[in-house]
């Protein structure tokens, strides 16, 4: 957790980012599933958007978003495919330990909303209830995501969330000042 200013650049992912993004992804389990290099490369290659937050020249976080019609073997992605004709599925958002607490996730979501503006695509995602991820549920609620379903998969239970593309609420002034 950090409370020091962290100036960021948010940009599309590049091939030379993948090694670092894999480290960040696998340090973020069980909030997201672990991947190998091939799995991450395949996901990033099929992404509607894969955004990277860079601080001091080094990736510190990323957000990977898939559109409908992607060949992706995920029961949660399929849940949305069965219910929505068009969407932007946020498959994962991962922040390196040294970047946590700096509102990077908020800024990645805001950047995604900006890039999707006018597309008619709602942002959708799921958050684990089992194993519990209450911080992520609070985070998504603050951004304006609303529950649209639940599923118990036996090994995991998830809450499905949806946000109409548009404005992600601004950072509170105190947080914006602290995080640069």
Query: What pLDDT does residue 101 have?
Result: 80
Residue 16 tokens read as 């030379």
- For residue 2, tell me if it sits in a domain: no
Number of structural domains, the chain?
Answer: 1
- For residue 32, tell me if it sits in a domain: yes
User: The CATH number of the domain where 119 resides is what?
Assistant: 3.40.630.30
User: Given strand 9-12, what is the order of strands in its sheet?
Assistant: 9-12, 49-55, 58-67, 88-95, 123-130, 157-163, 146-152
- For residue 3, tell me if it sits in a domain: no
- For residue 19, tell me if it sits in a domain: yes
pLDDT (tens digit, 9 = 90+) per residue, 108-122?
999 999 999 889 899
Alpha helices in 47-84 (DSSP H): 75-81
Q: Helices 18-26 and 37-46, interaxial angle, to 10°? A: 110
Q: What is the pTM of this model?
A: 0.86
- For residue 4, tell me if it sits in a domain: no
Q: What is the mean pLDDT of residues 76-99?
A: 93
- For residue 116, tell me if it sits in a domain: yes
Domain region containing 163: 9-179
């Amino acid at each position: 957790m950090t409370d020091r200013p962290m100036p960021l650049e948010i940009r599309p992912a590049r091939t030379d980012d993948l090694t670092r993004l894999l480290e960040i992804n696998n340090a973020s389990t069980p909030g997201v599933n672990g991947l190998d290099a091939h799995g991450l490369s395949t996901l990033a290659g099929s992404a509607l958007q894969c955004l990277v937050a860079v601080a001091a020249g080094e990736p510190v976080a990323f957000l990977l978003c898939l559109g409908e019609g992607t060949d992706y073997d995920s029961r949660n992605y399929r849940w949305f495919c069965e219910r929505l004709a068009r969407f932007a599925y946020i498959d994962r958002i991962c922040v390196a330990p040294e970047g946590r607490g700096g509102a990077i996730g908020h800024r990645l979501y805001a950047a995604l909303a900006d890039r999707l503006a006018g597309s008619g695509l709602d942002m959708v995602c799921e958050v684990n209830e089992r194993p519990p991820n209450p911080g992520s549920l609070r985070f998504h609620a603050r951004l304006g995501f609303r529950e649209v379903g639940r599923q118990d998969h036996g090994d995991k239970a998830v809450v499905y969330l949806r946000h109409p593309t548009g404005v992600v609420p601004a950072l509170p002034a105190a947080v914006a000042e602290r995080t640069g």
